[in-house]
Amino acid sequence: MPLPGNLAMKRRSLRTHRVPQTIDIIQPRRAVLRYWFSLCLCACFLLAESTPALSQVPGRWQGTAEVNGKPLLILFDISSPETGVFSATMDVPAQGAKGLPCDEVKSQGDSLFITIKMIGGRYLGRFNADRSATTGTLRQGNFTTALDLKRTGDALALNRPQTPKPPFPYASEDVEYDNPDKTVHLGATLTLPAGAGPFPAAILISGSGAQDRNSTLFGHKPFWVIADYLTRRGIAVLRVDDRNVGQSTGPAQGTSADFAQDVITSLEFLKNRKDIDPKKIGLIGHSEGGMLAPMVAVERPKDVAFIVSLAGPGEKITDLMVQQNVATLKSMKVSDPIAEGYGTMMGAMIGAASTEPDTASAYQKATTAFYAWRATVHPNVAAMLTGVADSSGVGKYIRTVVNSLRKPWERYFYAYDPTDNLTRLTCPVLALNGGKDIQVLAGPNLAGWETTLKKAGNKHVTVQELPGLNHLFQHCTTCTVAEYGELTETFDPEVLKLMTDWITAVVLP
């Protein structure tokens, strides 16, 4: 989940409104529980056009962009295509970002195009005569910077030992289906255990920002890892491309409520399969996906057999975002008083931007909050955290933050209180959080799940904090967002076992 802030780059926005000064070259479009560091932990895939020139595209490409007056090294690793489709990742070493997945690559004539939908970014370059370098620009929204790339060698392979490899002892079926009014088309993969059905099943729900069915990030494919583990142990799994990713299409603009309806569409698809037990279908949601799961279960209580929340929010989103910002700053060695003061300021700005009826009043309240905070810190600190060096930059900063938070998805998300639906949940719930998660802090978040559910009378609740794990359920060392791509572990095997044992006990008593 990102925060709002001054911009040079971006997240995918659950946005961690910003701890700027790291980079700022691209700012994500949709806020997301995933946290987008100053660079943008975005997920993208490179689609290739079939043309002879593409044989010269695979490899490691690097260049230096100028951001905030400073050089920033950016690298792309483009791998050889299989069946005409490229895979690629992006590194920004100065930010500790490694193996960020990318979206679309096209080589047409003497031009190279790379699109990164999740951050609203695009690279446009022109090859030199021997196609060993490009001259171009990297754009995101109104921000543009020159970026010339040189091919420096072969693409670097990421070490991801948990990515499933054939042969598989189960069936895998690529499926497609539509919502009732045909405005949303979903592409997915259904894995079915060996033997005779009908089988219990789980639908995987991704966090904020458009992601593919494997929830690919930094070369990790956690949803594929989860699906493989569960299916080998008797549980069918449906993992789905989000709207406008992979084989899925639909209106680009939507709120969490709209995405919950996409989950219901997937639920209906499974209910109509003869090889799936309609009374034993559950939901596994990560981050924002852990927020959508209760929304669906409350609307369709007879159709959801269980919920597994993987760092899904259990408290007011505004509170969660303040905690995230404070924890993120502290992880960057910012002092406690400064981090907490910044968090308070951002909480006030988020509240004003997402709840005020008109933009003018939102600007006014956000400006008041900003100046109140700025008066408590040294000007250099304010500049470091917001990019605002003097009063002349305040107006632009406020407009950037407020406007980014008044879009439909953001307004719905930041105003949402998960406890409203948790009080109405009747199905069994397993709520998990990594103890080192700095995006969704385990202590207050799990307390929200446990207190609310038990107060509502739900007797089938298991809440557990998992020591040493980050937001992606990886064992971590520094446990910062920048470390995600450096870790070879995709998803803790012990958590896979914990989920599987719990689900089995619920659906196969």
Residue 341 lies in a domain: yes
pLDDT at residue 111, rounded to an integer:
85
Please check whether residues 294 and 343 belong to one and the same domain. Answer: no
* pLDDT at position 86: 66
Lowest mean pLDDT among 2-6, 160-164, 390-394, 500-504: 2-6
Same domain, 264 and 359: no
Residue 504 pLDDT exceeds 50: yes
pLDDT reading at 31 higher than 80: no
Residues 272 and 421 in one domain: yes
Same domain, 115 and 181: no
Q: 184-197, pLDDT tens digit by residue?
A: 999 999 999 999 88
Tell me which of 21-25, 75-79, 456-460, 495-499 is least confident: 21-25
Cα 271 from chain centroid? 28
Q: Is residue 12 over pLDDT 50?
A: no
165 is a domain residue: no
Question: Is the pLDDT assigned to residue 308 strictly greater than 90?
Answer: yes
121 and 13 part of one domain: yes
pLDDT band at 433 (very low <50, low <70, confident <90, very high): very high
In this predicted structure, the answer to whether residue 113 has a pLDDT above a threshold of 60 is: yes
Q: How confident is the model at residue 65 (pLDDT cuts 50, 70, 90)?
A: confident
Task: Choose one of 157, 190, 205: the last residue of a domain.
Answer: 157
Mean pLDDT of the chain: 84
For residue 344, tell me if it sits in a domain: yes
The more confidently predicted of residues 313 and 3 is 313
Same domain, 306 and 326: no
Q: Which residue has the higher pLDDT, 68 or 303?
A: 303
In a domain, 166, yes or no: no
pLDDT digits (tens, 9 = 90+) for 399-422: 989 998 898 999 999 999 999 999
In a shared domain, residues 83 and 140: yes
Residues sharing a CB contact under 8 Å with residue 145, sequence separation 6 or more, in sequence order: 25, 65, 66, 67, 137, 138
How far is Cα 19 from Cα 59, in angstroms, rounded to an integer?
A: 32
Distances (CA, A) of 201 to 118, 276, 312, 427, 506: 29, 7, 20, 15, 12
- Asked if residue 88 has pLDDT above 80, the reply is no
CATH of residue 143's domain is: 2.40.128
Mark whether 288 and 420 lie in a shared domain. yes
Q: What is the pLDDT of residues 321-368, one digit of tens each?
A: 999 999 989 988 899 999 999 999 999 999 999 889 999 999 999 999
The boundaries of the domain holding residue 271 are: 171-316+416-507
pTM of the model: 0.78
Is residue 396 situated within a structural domain? yes
β-pair partners for 174: 189
The pLDDT confidence band at residue 80, using thresholds 50, 70 and 90, is: low
246 and 281 both lie in a single domain: yes
Asked if residues 312 and 287 have their Cβ atoms less than 8 Å apart, the reply is yes
Element at 373 (helix H, strand E): helix 359-374
Residue 450 above 80 pLDDT?
yes
Query: In this structure, how many other beta carbons lie within 10 angstroms of the beta carbon of residue 216?
Result: 22
Query: Would you say 411 and 405 are in contact if contact means Cβ atoms under 8 Å apart?
Result: yes
pLDDT at 240: 97
Same domain (yes/no): 427, 411? no
Q: Are residues 219 and 244 in the same domain?
A: yes
Instruction: Let me know whether 288 and 186 are in one domain.
Output: yes
Please, which pLDDT band fits residue 486 given cuts at 50, 70 and 90? confident
Q: Is residue 134 part of a domain?
A: yes
Residue 164 lies inside a defined structural domain of this protein: no
Mean pLDDT throughout 206-229? 92
Give, for 344, the enclosing helix (H) or strand (E): helix 336-355
Would you say residue 162 lies in a domain? no
Contact present, 204 and 284 (Cβ < 8 Å): yes
Domain end residue (candidates: 353, 381, 415): 415
Position with higher pLDDT, 455 vs 157:
455
Contact 12, 40 (CB under 8 A): yes
Question: Which span out of 64-78, 95-109, 263-277 was modeled with the highest average pLDDT?
Answer: 263-277
Tally the domains of the chain.
3
Give φ, ψ of 86 to 5 degrees.
-85, 155
**CATH number, domain with residue 193:** 3.40.50.1820
Q: Identify the domain boundary among 129, 157, 185.
A: 157
